[in-house]
Structure 1
Amino acid sequence: MAANETLLQAFEWHSTSHSPSMNKGYSTESHYTYLRRVLPSLARIGVTGIWLPPGCKANNSQGNGYDCYDLWDLGEYDQKGGRATKWGVKEELSKVMQTAEGEGIQCIWDTVLNHKAGGDATEETWAVEVDEEDRRIEICSPKKIEAWLRFDFPGRERDGVSNEKFLWRAEHFNGTDWDHRAQKRAIYKIIDDPFTLSNPSLRPDIWNDFMWMKNSGTKARTERRAGKGWAEDVDDQHGNADYLMFSNIDYSQSSVQDHVKHWGEWMVNDVGVDGFRLDAAQHFSYSFTRDWISVVQQASWKKRNRELFIVGEIWTDEPRCILDWLNSVGQNAYAYDSPLLYNFSRISEDIRKGSKSVDLRTILHDSLLELRPQSAVTFVTNHDTQPGQTSYAPIDSQLKSFFYAFILLRREGRPCVFWGDLYGTNGPYAEPPACTVRTANGGERNLLPDLIMVRKYLAYGEQKDYFDSTHCIGFTRSGVEGESKTGCAIIISVANKDTSTGDYRATKRMRIGKPGEVWVDILCEKEYRTETIIDAKGYGLFSCGGMGIGVFSRRAEADQFSLNLNLDS
């Protein structure tokens, strides 16, 4: 049986990084250098893939990369304040990928294909303002605006090298958020010159047919304007989700499609990535995404005879939106299970508020893990949901260990661990590593590395769920006969005390192992490990603290855990 795979998001929003100066190819304090240093430790505990930050040149030297300026500049050209990206220079990236390959770790590239930022000059174009809540509704007559839609990439020419000569102009975009001439911020849909259209009903002087008169109380018509406009094959958030931010790329243009496909092939063939995380996947053409995935997969099969890992980011609590994307793009793509994350946050908040609605049996409700587990990338936190971010999802730090045990040790789904939960976060809402517990000598210990190791060594075989109590659930993994992957039993409790016994311990009777075997809680310190003996019928009575988790294995396998690995070297 193949080893379990575990993905690590290898950055957080406020990751510190001091990149090399202009003529240097290395810095001891860049994020790429630090990441390269910890890769061997990550491999030892069971990390098999890293989600790299968006390392294309951003709009400024400290931009995280979601404000993407130049797809082809991975820290190579003197543009936007320097040669390096926030994360480092291309030479350092290459060393990260070489080290990762040597450790058996795949590199997944965070890919921003929805928009571009930081144009080099303005261009004049026809546009209409649209309603922020329903992007199908035009709220002004067609007019000419001056927008930063010209991308010349002068740094490439100064350095005398360039991977790609394609230059972006106004015709390559269908939306933007700033009219430089009017000094006005709004959502502008870029359109064709209305005087060139054959349909007379679209003359500029009768634009009211497509307008919501906000003060009239009338409903808007949402007929699609002929010619250039939003992509239709996107999510229906805000009526049409094509526009998200910055300068929105128009994938109806064949030249744009060819250019971005060529970039994807370059990333596979020359840079050597093992997969792509598609940022804002619900906001750009699903049909183009399907074609793009096909192109990069063909490149991977031709070069390495294996499939790339592709995962889309779709922020929603409605699983139908994720399923629509998966059905549209096909080709074994994955999606992040945001509904599962929202379930975690809901349960955490119910516990914090002392709500009587706490019910662990609903943990999978309407999640991708429940509806299409083979396509789910599960996670507890990421850079968008950490404190202070736009999609902040509050989850108690102690409870994170419960939810990580849930996603890491189950059979279905591909779990993704957050850098900030393993190493802590920086910034105005800085937090220490999550999943820490007090030790007997008064110190602290992070359970997350051990949970990843349990996934690596023990969490195999058939799964049996015991979701029979609102405040305490459990499940078992039977292991693989004849292999060292011997299985485990997991109990999760969010009750201060077991209401059936009055004891501040939770118990769950589960079937696992063989009669007479001793199973111990490997998350406990060795001297204090809880034990259970499997009875004649093959059942053990597994226990944990009333507000706690227990992960049990055969006693013989337990000693490889609680190693307190130094993950900083």
Structure 2
Amino acid sequence: MVSFLSCFGGSRQRERRILAKKEEAARNLDQLPSWTAPDNTLILQAFEWHVPADHRHWLRLKSALPEWKAIGIDQIWVPPGCKGMDPNGNGYDIYDLFDLGEFDQKGAISTKWGSRMELEEMMRQAHTLGIGVIWDAVLNHKAGAEYPEYFDAVAVDPKQRNKEISKPLEIHGWTGFDFPGRGEMYSSMKYHWQHFSGVDWDDKGKKQEIYKILGSNKDWAPDVSTENGNYDYLMFADLEHSHPEVREDLLLWGTWITESLSLSGMRLDAAKHFSTRFQKAFLEHVRERANPNFFVMGEYWTGDVSAIHDYLEEVDNQVVAYDVPLLVKFSKLSHARSPDLRGIFDGTLVKTKPEHAVTFVANHDTQVGQMMETPVASSFKLLSYALVLLRKGGYPCVFYGDLYGIRANVKDPMTPSCDGKLPILTQARKRYAYGEQEDYFDQPNCIGFVRYGNAYHPGLACVLSNDGPSKKRMFIGRQYTNCEWTDVLGYHSALVIIDKRGYGEFPVNAMSVSVWVEAAAVKRDGLQKDFNVNIYDY
């Protein structure tokens, strides 16, 4: 009995020490940089893979922009709107960077997304609302050449691209790009075999292989991912970024499109597949010539956080990168039975380099059936988005397919993710997710955290459960004694009263999230509860 009481007393003492430490962390908040930090920003990926090829997407986005602004979105990442080889394709089969839906090429004037005039109308609306636009830049390859050309090449092992598996041979590859519909407008550059480093089809032998093009000083770029030995080649006709004419044309395009559309940033597609030295030179050029505050997201797709660190170092930390390791964790945990949540941020970019992490739950590449399919179970998406949107660190990016639902078939119903609560979470981020953060990651299946607010915004308390219903006792601050806090997600009608020590007992439903804010602040600010999910009615 004595032993039991001794252990019990020691446990209570440890609890008191932990609570005292948490209370101390909440003092003197007005002395910290977070007290006067600027308002949160939020990116929306404004498309998904199955957007219908009705050539009306720019108009659709223009109509939706005011509603997005109202729920806290201030940057949109738009699809690659340059002409692809398929006018109904998503633009990653890039044909002509300088055709934004203006010239009759590849069987159409408009791209899948619409015409250049409609794109410019959407851009004007975005600028009026103070919404920045991030362009999806496909700079790794070209597709849809007008004609094939003869040149020397060597086949390489697809699993080890530095290993040659054939003798040098003459092949007939699709590398002739004249852009007859555009002519000399905007750029006089024509592309030929010497401007590329590899192809995957020999029209002479009717054979598919990965062919490295041979020539003076030609080889795979050395500063790319070392997966498969060297991962320079990805698809189509692979651009050689060390060629001075290629380099000059791409730098010209970067400043041209940034100035023409007043872009706020770019996403570099396939960043692990083309020269990091060129990427660095490209963004420095655009920042110097067109926009000194140009925001760049590098799509360096790997679950290895150390490899992402290496990439960031190679570009002098001048870009941000996708936190793929965090997404992989979300996906794995979401398909396990009641996994331990306490280490959910271990080994992630947002934990190790939060100022360089784009945090996300899904995108067009991770959808079912896509190249980087990494599905997060629907029951876990609300938890994932709460961890992405409401915590410190990172640049959160919300997915269009989660906000509205995926439309793989025109007859399919559109079902938004997160029980339709995602617009409430984005508003909670914009209004309440500020200030210092205190974590309560002390139970395997129920974790929580508090944001203490700052000079301009109140804070919040968030509790997450991936098992049964639970509660989390968390310190809010003695200034809130006897104040009522409400769950802005609406899952709990009862209010939580903060006790005299500044603590609240915050409940959460099974496999759910609750987000608590002082009721007076919610009443004062209001939250937009009505959100039009019928995006294709625009």
Same-fold status (TM-score > 0.5): yes
- Contact 1:100-1:106 at 8 Å conserved across structures: yes
Matched, 1:455 2:478: no
Greater RCO, CA 8 A, separation 6+? 2
Correspondence for 2:204 among 174, 181, 204 = 181
Q: Deviations over 1:86-144 (max 9, x none)?
A: 00010000011100011111000000000000111111111111111111111100101
Q: Which amino acid aligns with 1:564?
A: D
Q: How does 1:180-199 map to 2 (within 5 A)?
A: 180-192=203-215
Question: In the alignment, what sits opposite 1:308?
Answer: 294
Q: How does 1:92-171 map to 2 (within 5 A)?
A: 92-157=118-183, 162-171=185-194
Correspondence for 1:564 among 521, 530, 533 = 530
SS state at 1:412 partner? coil
Matched, 1:476 2:476: no
Name whichever of 389-398 and 411-420 sits farther off: 389-398
The TM-score normalised by the length of structure 1 is 0.85
Q: Deviations over 1:457-511 (max 9, x none)?
A: 1111111111111111111110013x2x101010010112xxxxxxxx2111111
State the distance in 2 between where 1:53 and 1:435 align.
21
Correspondence for 2:458 among 486, 490, 496 = 486
SS state at 1:453 partner? helix
Q: Deviations over 1:289-330 (max 9, x none)?
A: 1111100111234xxxx4011000011110122111111112
State the distance in 2 between where 1:282 and 1:8 align.
23
Matched, 1:510 2:510: no
- Contact 1:294-1:331 at 8 Å conserved across structures: no
SS state at 1:64 partner? coil
Q: Which amino acid aligns with 1:433?
A: T
Question: In the alignment, what sits opposite 1:233?
Answer: 223
Q: Which amino acid aligns with 1:542?
A: F
Matched, 1:265 2:255: yes
Which structure 1 residue ranges, 4+ long, deviate > 4 Å from structure 2? Answer: 428-431
State the distance in 1 between where 2:290 and 2:493 align.
47
Per the TM alignment, residue 59 of structure 1 is displaced from its structure 2 partner at its CA by 0.6
Name whichever of 165-174 and 249-258 sits farther off: 249-258
SS state at 2:473 partner? strand
Question: In the alignment, what sits opposite 1:213?
Answer: none
Identity %: 42
Question: In the alignment, what sits opposite 2:313?
Answer: 327
SS state at 2:490 partner? coil
Gaps of 5+ in 2: 1-36
- Contact 1:268-1:299 at 8 Å conserved across structures: no
State the distance in 2 between where 1:330 and 1:300 align.
20
Per the TM alignment, residue 428 of structure 1 is displaced from its structure 2 partner at its CA by 5.2
- Contact 1:518-1:554 at 8 Å conserved across structures: yes
SS state at 1:130 partner? strand
State the distance in 2 between where 1:323 and 1:531 align.
44
Per the TM alignment, residue 436 of structure 1 is displaced from its structure 2 partner at its CA by 4.2
Matched, 1:390 2:371: yes
State the distance in 2 between where 1:17 and 1:144 align.
39
Correspondence for 2:511 among 536, 547, 552 = 547
State the distance in 2 between where 1:458 and 1:529 align.
20
Q: How does 1:340-351 map to 2 (within 5 A)?
A: 340-350=326-336
Query: Cα distance 1:530–1:406, how it changes in 2: closer, same or farther (>3 A)?
Result: farther
- Contact 2:232-2:273 at 8 Å conserved across structures: yes
Per the TM alignment, residue 535 of structure 1 is displaced from its structure 2 partner at its CA by 1.5
The TM-score normalised by the length of structure 2 is 0.89
Q: Deviations over 1:508-552 (max 9, x none)?
A: 111114221111111016xx5232111222111111102110000
SS state at 2:508 partner? strand
- Contact 2:334-2:379 at 8 Å conserved across structures: no
State the distance in 2 between where 1:399 and 1:427 align.
22
Matched, 1:370 2:348: no
SS state at 1:469 partner? coil
Question: In the alignment, what sits opposite 1:22?
Answer: none
Matched, 1:465 2:446: no
Correspondence for 2:272 among 282, 290, 296 = 282
Question: In the alignment, what sits opposite 2:402?
Answer: 421
Correspondence for 1:433 among 415, 418, 435 = 415
State the distance in 1 between where 2:116 and 2:409 align.
29
Per the TM alignment, residue 392 of structure 1 is displaced from its structure 2 partner at its CA by 1.1
State the distance in 2 between where 1:254 and 1:410 align.
44
State the distance in 1 between where 2:268 and 2:413 align.
27
Question: In the alignment, what sits opposite 1:338?
Answer: 324
Q: Which amino acid aligns with 2:89?
A: G
- Contact 2:381-2:418 at 8 Å conserved across structures: no
- Contact 1:424-1:433 at 8 Å conserved across structures: yes
Question: In the alignment, what sits opposite 1:501?
Answer: none
RMSD of equivalent CA atoms: 1.5
- Contact 2:158-2:228 at 8 Å conserved across structures: yes
Q: Deviations over 1:394-442 (max 9, x none)?
A: 21113111111110001111100000001111115967334343xxxxx
Per the TM alignment, residue 75 of structure 1 is displaced from its structure 2 partner at its CA by 0.3
SS state at 1:557 partner? helix
Q: Deviations over 1:126-169 (max 9, x none)?
A: 11111111111111001010000010000013xxx611000001
State the distance in 1 between where 2:388 and 2:208 align.
42
Count how many residue pairs are aligned between Structure 1 and Structure 2: 494
SS state at 2:65 partner? helix
Gaps of 5+ in 1: 20-29, 194-226, 438-445, 497-504
State the distance in 1 between where 2:376 and 2:159 align.
29
State the distance in 2 between where 1:456 and 1:261 align.
36
- Contact 2:77-2:134 at 8 Å conserved across structures: yes
- Contact 1:398-1:435 at 8 Å conserved across structures: no
- Contact 1:530-1:543 at 8 Å conserved across structures: no
- Contact 2:433-2:460 at 8 Å conserved across structures: yes
Correspondence for 2:500 among 536, 540, 557 = 536
State the distance in 2 between where 1:91 and 1:2 align.
34
Question: In the alignment, what sits opposite 1:36?
Answer: 62
